[in-house]
Amino acid sequence: MNLAGKKILLGVSGGIAVYKSCELLRLLQKKGATVRVCMTDAATEFVAPLTFASLSKCPVYLKSGAVEARPFQHIDFPRWADLYLVVPATANVIGKFACGIADDPVSLCFMSCTCPRVVAPAMNVAMYNSPAVKRNLEILRGFEDTTVLESPAGELACGEVGQGRLMEPAEIVEFLEGEGSPLAAAARASSATPSSGGHPRNAPEPPAFPVAQDIDPTQDATLPGHGKKVLLTAGRTEEAIDPVRYISNRSSGKTAVALASVFYANGFEVEVVAGPMEAAFPGGVKVTRVQSARDMHDAVMSRLTSADAVVHCAAVADYRPAHAADAKIKDSRSQLTIELVPNPNILRDCTAARASRAAARQVIVGFALETDHFEEHAAEKLQKSGADALLLNAPVANDSGFGHDCVRYALVRPGVPVPEMKMGGKVDLAQEIVDFVLKELGNA
């Protein structure tokens, strides 16, 4: 089983073998997997969360919560993952798994996980051979989509000899690559043609950053965006040539959905002005639908003063036909000339309106999609726009950009050299923008 491209959530509980989890993370990355980490408080006593955050390039999900962490990681992280791997699994956390207790990040993720789960026990031989642990391991082996790895015998950290050692990281990776691994089984199941009662392979994807339906983050005063409102533009605009044809830009709306979801999860009231798009927004987000660039301009300008932040994510058509035909233009295969006129620049009009009024701080972020001369074009657009930041993105790499979950991007700010572009998920991109907005508003 090729691990390249697989998303693995690594649960780390508190034992001396925690240091081996760092080695395991690096081995998984070398195989091409993306790894995120959740930790119990006890695990942080052995290895600092910063170590795992630095290795994984992602905030670690902790019970105490990190400043940069998202509030619904117990739901978000497991749904993101193709596999939940608990290494090491102590007697304590194994007992929680078996009894349905969920009071720390590792057990919460186990409870809400719907992907295959692999548990690697590690503890003293006396604990491993205790009736309670043996019973709990047997319960776990009976759980659907849960694999309990063998704990080999040998010299333990305490100096005793016996069963209870953590399986070596290289052996764990070898198991995951084998045909008997849960990842291989899941791949075989997904390749099978679904029955009439199953889910079609082209079913719509879930929101990029789901939030539990019974939770309203805007009511949580502990979240950094509480009491703040963000206005987003999303999707694309369509400029009519005749009743059936139009000029437009490519946009699935996935980036806007990620932005709306992450802002909402951070406690912001989220309002979106959206043109046509395929991706769906999560509940709790207010959406106004528009068609053309002028429609979007009017909708945004009428809502501008009520927003603490405005993020212009929509792919707005720069031009529209000077005259749209009332009836379908007949196909004569003769040459057709269409006169185009410029559409209003929504981003620049927003920054101009902000400058003209004495009001509380409002943060404005624009987007710049470029296919060449990235730094030059982004710096020029930022200067002309008057925005506080510009998200430069480039859909020129394989499996990224339009319609994909990954994109090549960089956050560009005035007076700062354009940073090197990086490849990341659209949720990661959204989190970077949210962090910037919070910092500018003084809520970070």
Per-residue DSSP letter, 284: T
CATH tag, 217-441: 3.40.50.10300
- The pTM score is 0.55
Buried b / exposed e over 203-222, threshold 16 CB at 10 Å, is eeeebbbbbeeeeebbeeee
Buried b / exposed e over 241-273, threshold 16 CB at 10 Å, is beeeebbbbebbbbbbbbbbbbbbbbbbbbbbb
CATH fold match for the domains 7-191 and 217-441: yes
Overall fold of domain 7-191:
Rossmann fold (3.40.50)
- What's the CA angle centered on 311, arms 308 and 312, to 5 degrees? 140
Report whether 440 contacts 421 (CB < 8 A). Answer: no
In residues, how long is the chain? 444
Q: Give the C-alpha separation, 169 to 393, whole Å.
A: 36
Kindly provide the residue ranges of all beta strands, DSSP E only, lying in 1-127, ordered along the sequence.
7-12, 34-39, 83-89, 117-121
Report whether 417 contacts 397 (CB < 8 A). Answer: no
Token digits of residue 166: 């953590």
Task: Give the Å distances, CA to CA, from 287 to 163, 218, 256, 280, 345.
Answer: 57, 16, 12, 10, 21
Query: pLDDT 10s per residue in the chain (444 long)?
Result: 788 888 999 999 998 899 999 999 999 988 888 899 999 999 999 998 888 888 887 778 887 654 343 444 556 677 888 999 999 999 999 999 999 999 999 999 999 888 999 999 999 888 899 999 999 999 999 999 999 998 887 766 666 767 778 889 999 999 998 888 888 777 666 554 443 333 333 333 334 444 444 457 788 787 888 999 999 999 999 998 988 888 888 788 888 988 998 888 888 999 999 999 888 887 789 999 999 999 999 999 999 999 999 999 999 998 999 888 888 888 766 778 889 999 999 999 999 999 887 666 899 999 987 777 777 777 888 888 899 999 988 765 444 445 455 688 889 888 888 888 887 777 778 888 999 999 999 864
Per-residue DSSP letter, 32: T
Catalytic-residue membership of 350: no
Number of H helices, E strands in the chain: 15, 19
Compute the chain's Rg from CA coordinates. 25
Token digits of residue 17: 């073998």
Chain centroid, CA 116 distance in Å: 20
Alpha helix locations (H) across 142-192?
Answer: 169-177, 182-191
Report whether 364 contacts 433 (CB < 8 A). Answer: no
125: three-class secondary structure by DSSP? helix
Indicate the domain borders of the chain: 7-191, 217-441
Q: Give the active site residue among 22, 58, 99, 158.
A: 158
Q: Give the C-alpha separation, 152 to 125, whole Å.
A: 10
Q: How many CB atoms lie within 10 A of CB 161?
A: 12
